[in-house]
Chains A and B, each alone.
Chain A
Amino acid sequence: DADVTQTPRNRITKTGKRIMLECSQTKGHDRMYWYRQDPGLGLRLIYYSFDVKDINKGEISDGYSVSRQAQAKFSLSLESAIPNQTALYFCATSIPNSGRPKPHPDTQYFGPGTRLTVL
């Protein structure tokens, strides 16, 4: 089973609709992230959360909101979807650098992605 899961995997919606993308993880990581990926622009950070009570804006948070319901769950909402929010959305997790052995510093583990189309 995948350690980081995203639902739905694909979604087509209309302009103005409210959409929620969900992310769950079984890795036990404290840190979770939401990115969007667009052709030619790479991955851009929308929001991130270092624990349940910590939410931070990324570089492109306008038009998005998030909720960290539990350590294992981090949801991304589009309150009123618009066509330029059509993209591939990834959730990711990581653990902090200090106080643990780790295979690689700052490794992030990504979910399989949600392809969102806003018409």
Chain B
Amino acid sequence: RKEVEQDPGPFNVPEGATVAFNCTYSNSASQSFFWYRQDCRKEPKLLMSVYSSGNEDGRFTAQLNRASQYISLLIRDSKLSDSATYLCVVNNFGNEKLTFGTGTRLTIIP
């Protein structure tokens, strides 16, 4: 089983719609969770951290469910510029190494 698993997609979503992705992780000792965004042929960039209580940044909401070992990302009122690959990233306690999921590809359709 992969340490971090994501549905690769692609998700093709009309502009203005709401879309959600999930990501599961296998190591119950995982402590830090993130969503990174990667545009085609570009480097990954941090989108948002995921906190236990859930957190929101504008149109983006991230949730963590430790009991079921998954994190989610919700994008509301999707924009064309949201088209990208979204990487789920996990870090284990005391370990500065990040483990990346393979990414979920999102395309927003006009």
Instruction: Enumerate chain A interface residues (CB-CB to B < 8 A).
Output: 31, 40-45, 48, 50, 58, 88, 90, 94, 96-97, 104-108, 110-113
Q: Which residues of chain B have C-beta atoms less than 8 A from A111's C-beta?
A: 43
Q: How many cross-chain pairs have Cβ atoms below 8 Å apart between A and B?
A: 51
Q: Which residues of chain B have C-beta atoms less than 8 A from A40's C-beta?
A: 8, 102
Instruction: Enumerate chain B interface residues (CB-CB to A < 8 A).
Output: 4, 8, 32, 34, 41-46, 48-49, 87, 91, 96-98, 100-103
- Taking a contact as CB atoms under 8 Å apart, the answer to whether A106 and B43 are in contact is no
**Interface of B, helix, strand, loop or mixed by DSSP:** strand
Quick one: which of B44, B87, B97 contacts A58, CB cutoff 8 A?
B97
Complex: how many Å from CA A44 to CA B45?
16
For the A-B complex with A97-B96, A104-B46, A104-B48 known, give 6 more contacts whose Cβ atoms are closer than 8 Å: A42-B102, A42-B103, A43-B87, A50-B96, A108-B98, A112-B42
Q: Which residue of B lies closest to A4 (CB)?
A: B43
Complex: how many Å from CA A96 to CA B45?
18
Quick one: which of B43, B49, B101 contacts A110, CB cutoff 8 A?
B43
- Taking a contact as CB atoms under 8 Å apart, the answer to whether A42 and B100 are in contact is yes
A31 and B102 in contact, given A104-B49, A110-B43 (Cβ under 8 angstroms): no
